[in-house]
Amino acid sequence: MKRAKPGDLRAVVEAIPGPLAQLLARDWPRGLPVAVNELIEQGLLGEQRTVEELAERIGRRWVAFGYENDLMDSLGKGVRTSLGVLEELVSPSKCWGNNLDCEDGIDRRTGDDCPRCVEQRAERRADREQPLAERPPTVEKPTPVPAPYVPEQRDDAVGINEEQRALAREVLRGRTRLPR
């Protein structure tokens, strides 16, 4: 497998928000585990994001998921580990429709809602509203040309909510600067 440049890995690690970086340094005094590099490589090579895009994702999710406020509390109770939080910040965007350009529900090329996620949300709504007996039989969709990397399908329970999507939309359109 292709490896990411060490400088790129370091640059992404440097984007970790200060309070989390401190906790990680405390929990991993001899350096972060290899799993962190693998996760960042997945973003750089698998998802083909730039260092800047991954740094932006980390900063945006840090704000959107409200870690700044509740990180200390939850860590004290052993609910979350610093490494677990880092994984949530760096992990590939999960797209309901397997759109590689989908960044937490927003298409990074247009800054608009990911069309595949929109389709899926509409389908789910229609499914819920339609009584079971009236549903048409499922038709196999033609298989698309295989992409080198397919984002994981998002699980409803941990899906990005409208507020988080709105933040992603603003940031990806360059209107909001996240605090560093």
For tokens 């048409």, name the residue.
136
Which of 12, 54, 85, 102 binds Zn ion (CB under 5 A)? It is 102
Name the residue nearer to Zn ion (CB basis): 68 or 101. 101
Spatial contact of 168 and 162, defined as CB atoms under 8 Å apart: no
Q: Name the residue nearer to Zn ion (CB basis): 14 or 112.
A: 112
| The binder of Zn ion chosen from 116, 164, 168, 172 (CB under 5 A) | 116
Question: Residues in contact with Zn ion, total (CB under 5 A)?
Answer: 6
Q: How many helices (H) and strands (E) does the chain have?
A: 8, 2
Query: At its nearest, how many Å lie between Zn ion and the CB of residue 102?
Result: 3
Q: What are phi and psi of 78, to 5 degrees?
A: 75, 15
Q: Which of residues 81-100 bind Zn ion (CB under 5 A)?
A: 95, 99
| Options 20, 117, 171, 172; binder of Zn ion; rule CB under 5 A | 117
Nearer to Zn ion, 24 or 102 (CB): 102
Q: How far is CA 175 from CA 50, 55, 161, 167, 170, in A?
A: 19, 16, 20, 10, 5
Q: How far is 68 from 83, CA to CA, in rounded Å?
A: 15
Q: For residues 81 and 98, which CB has a smaller minimum distance to Zn ion in the complex?
A: 98
In degrees rounded to 5, what are phi and psi of residue 116?
Answer: -70, -40
For the chain, the C-alpha Rg in angstroms (whole number) is 18
CB of 122 to Zn ion, least distance (A): 13
- Among 32, 110, 179, CA closest to 40: 32
| Contacts (CB under 5 A) with Zn ion, residues 30-89 | none
Between 61 and 116, whose beta carbon lies closer to Zn ion?
Answer: 116
Residues of this chain that bind Zn ion (CB under 5 A): 95, 99, 102, 114, 116-117
